[in-house]
Amino acid sequence: MQRLSRALFRALSVAIGTGVVLVIAVLMVYSPSGVGLIPRHCTHPNSTFLETERQAVLTAREIWSCIYPEIINPTIKLMDEGAWLTEFEATLSDKVWHVSQIVPFGYAGGGVNFGLAQEDGHLVHVYLTQ
């Protein structure tokens, strides 16, 4: 009975250890977010101080196109700067740019929202609304 307990303990230790290593490895490559796990290299597209709304919106576009390189919303072409500048707005609050899709009058919400650090443009948060 004691041998069985030791063998079971060793097996569980190996399984738990492997699981912990796997979780750490995933978190080294990906960051959790409101849209799922995203590649870490997408969270720091450039190390530029974001002075203007335009810079914030275009940095959000760069992050979004890194997260989803394929077009997932046909009304907003990922690489079209003009569409992003027209359909997104950014406001600065406490050194964080909040970039969101402009919701047409009569709609309650729906779209992607970003928080970008003003100091270097890194992604603070990203989430979708309905």
What pLDDT, on a 0 to 100 scale, did the predictor assign at position 55? 95
What pLDDT, on a 0 to 100 scale, did the predictor assign at position 56? 95
What pLDDT, on a 0 to 100 scale, did the predictor assign at position 66? 84
27 and 91 co-located in one domain: no
CB–CB of 60/116 below 8 Å?
A: yes
Distance of CA 53 to the CA centre of its chain: 19
Tell me the C-alpha to C-alpha distance, in Å, between residue 54 and each of 3, 7, 48, 59, 81: 67, 61, 13, 9, 10
18 and 46 co-located in one domain: no
What pLDDT, on a 0 to 100 scale, did the predictor assign at position 17? 65
Kindly report whether the global pTM for this prediction surpasses the value 0.85: no
CA distance 86 to 101: 9
SS3 2: helix
How open is the CA angle 85-74-96, to the nearest 5 degrees? 35
14 and 54 co-located in one domain: no
Range of the domain at 27: 1-31
Which of 79, 77, 67 has the alpha carbon at shortest distance from 30?
67
55 and 103 co-located in one domain: yes
- Return the structure tokens found at 10: 């060793």
36 assigned to some structural domain: no
- Return the structure tokens found at 115: 């928080």
